[in-house]
């Protein structure tokens, strides 16, 4: 029987967010494929996990995928982890997962900490509909083009950005979307966790006066929903009553 590929979520900051299931799986598999083995080794030491580690990242994914698939097909269970949060969400892993599925390998997600959902839940912005855009392009032209894709979308938008580029991202969003409400979540689950809420203009003023540090997740309000009403009718009267 072939082994199972487990996609294991790990803490985004606070080690207490590690799930009991995640610890058990990491102890039971034959090998852990980690984005950075040095980082994951510290996590394993904290939880008494002695499973062997191997590196798996964007620069060695083709070579390591072949090795890991061979082990999976020989019956070894493999766990994939990133440095923080859920693998493949702006992190390595997609290449391995798709190849495992093509090879008939069972893929099992082990859910847990997520900066995306943590920021959305604490933002105070609508949660009924949202879209995750991850990191936008660094160059202004491609970034502006990407922003136009969700300009008319009423869903809240969730983005990742580094502290030294957040000013430029906020300025691009203001230019492309207008002065919408937004929330800058910094250092989620860590000791210095902060939520800064306001308009895009207010957040720009904030980061320019006090440049932030640490990982940033940004939640931006979606486009306002347009009301459909006939000329001369009340806004709430969408359809004219049919005559008998």
Q: Is residue 231 part of a domain?
A: no
212 and 126 in one domain?
A: yes
Quote the domain boundaries for residue 79: 4-110
Q: Is residue 88 part of a domain?
A: yes
Distances (CA, A) of 61 to 57, 73, 93, 123, 138: 6, 18, 8, 35, 24
- Judge whether residue 227 has pLDDT over 70: no
Strand partners, 197: 183
12 and 91 in one domain?
A: yes
Instruction: Give the chain's domain count.
Output: 2
Tell which of 86, 110, 134 closes a domain.
Answer: 110
Q: Is residue 227 part of a domain?
A: no
225: confidence class by pLDDT, cuts 50, 70, 90: confident
- Judge whether residue 154 has pLDDT over 70: yes
- Judge whether residue 212 has pLDDT over 60: yes
Average pLDDT value over all residues in the chain? 92
91 and 12 in one domain?
A: yes
What's the rounded mean pLDDT across residues 30-34? Answer: 98
Tokens of 116: 């995306």
The answer to which of 28-42, 80-94, 167-181, 220-234 has the lowest mean pLDDT is 220-234
Please indicate whether residue 235 or residue 216 has the higher confidence score (pLDDT).
Answer: 216
CA separation for the pair 55, 38 (Å, rounded): 9
State the pLDDT at residue 167.
97
Kindly report the pTM of this predicted structure. 0.86
Tokens of 152: 């008319």
- Judge whether residue 242 has pLDDT over 70: no
226: confidence class by pLDDT, cuts 50, 70, 90: low
């Amino acid at each position: 029987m072939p082994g199972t590929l487990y996609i294991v979520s790990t803490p985004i900051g606070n080690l207490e967010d590690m799930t009991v299931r995640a610890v058990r799986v990491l102890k039971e598999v034959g090998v852990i494929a980690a984005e950075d083995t040095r980082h994951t080794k510290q996590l394993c030491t904290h939880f008494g996990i002695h499973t062997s580690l191997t590196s798996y990242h964007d620069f060695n994914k083709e070579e390591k995928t072949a090795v890991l698939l061979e082990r999976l097909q020989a019956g070894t269970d493999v766990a994939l982890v990133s440095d923080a949060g859920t693998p493949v969400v702006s992190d390595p892993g997609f290449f391995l997962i798709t190849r495992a599925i093509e090879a008939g390998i069972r893929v099992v997600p082990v859910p847990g900490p997520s900066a995306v959902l943590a920021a959305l839940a604490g933002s105070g912005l609508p949660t009924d509909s949202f879209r995750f855009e991850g990191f936008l392009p660094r160059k202004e032209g491609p970034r502006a083009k990407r922003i136009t894709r969700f300009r008319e979308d009423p869903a809240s938008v969730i983005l990742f950005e580094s502290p030294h580029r957040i000013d430029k991202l906020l300025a691009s969003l203001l230019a492309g979307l207008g002065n919408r409400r937004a929330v800058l979540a910094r250092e989620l689950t860590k000791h210095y966790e902060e939520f800064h809420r306001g308009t895009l203009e207010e957040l720009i003023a904030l980061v320019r006066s006090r440049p932030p540090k640490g990982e940033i997740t940004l939640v931006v309000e979606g486009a306002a929903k347009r009301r459909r009403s006939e000329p001369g009718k009340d806004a709430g009267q969408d359809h004219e009553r049919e005559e008998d």
